[in-house]
Amino acid sequence: MIYFTSDLHLGHRGIITMQNRPFQTVEEMNRILLQNFNACVGKSDIVYILGDICHHMPIEAANNTISSLHGKKYLINGNHDKKYEEKLFEEICDFKVVSLNGETVVLMHYPMMSWPKNRRGSIHLHGHIHANQDYNWVNREQGIKRYDVGVDANTFMPISIKQILQFYSVDI
C-alpha cells in the first residue's frame, strides 16, 4: 500500500496549543503519532512524508525517531526539516510528480494554486497549513483536487492513496 502524511512536528511542544491538538504533553503526542503511523504503515509499504517530521528535536533524536517509522520512506522537504540521515529515506526532494493507480499525483510540502496537469485531473497533495478536515471537503465541493495530507486534517493518521482516490471518487 502507498501512504501519505505530513506535519507530525514530533518533539514540538508548542504545536499542541497552536493547533489545538488533543494531547496533554509532547511525549503523549509523539507516542500516539508514532503508534498511529506504525499501525497504518507496514514495513514493506511506501510512505511519502510531505515535510515537517520533527521540530525542536536534536538531529540524533530525530534520526532515531524516523528510523522507528515503518515503511519505505520518501521525504518531500518541509520548512522545519533538518538534514536527516539520507539512508533513512529512499529519496529526499522538494517536489515530486508520481503516477499512482493511473493517476498523476503532485507532491509538495506547500499548497499550490496551480500544479502540473491540474486541468487534466491530477491531484495535488501537500501539508504545511495544518488544516482540519473541512479544508479537504471544501476543496472537493469546489472541484479542486488539492488535499492536505497533514495529521491535523486526517485524524492524526497517514492516509492511503486508496482513501484519497475514493474521496475524489476516482475508480480504483
> Is pLDDT above 60 for 172?
no
- Say if residue 62 is exposed, middle or buried (CB neighbours under 10 Å; 0-12, 13-18, 19+): buried
**pLDDT digit string (tens) for 110-119?**
999 999 999 9
pTM of the model: 0.96
* Residue whose C-alpha cell is 532515531: 64
Which segments of 23-160 are extended strands (E)? 46-49, 72-76, 91-93, 95-100, 103-108, 123-126, 146-148, 159-160
What is the rounded radius of gyration, in angstroms, for the C-alpha atoms of the chain? 15
Q: Give pLDDT, residue 111.
A: 98
Q: Which CATH class is domain 2-167?
A: alpha beta
Kindly list the domain boundaries of the chain, sorted by start residue.
2-167
CA distances from 61 to 11, 55, 99, 125 (A): 9, 11, 33, 28
**pLDDT digit string (tens) for 58-71?**
999 999 999 999 99
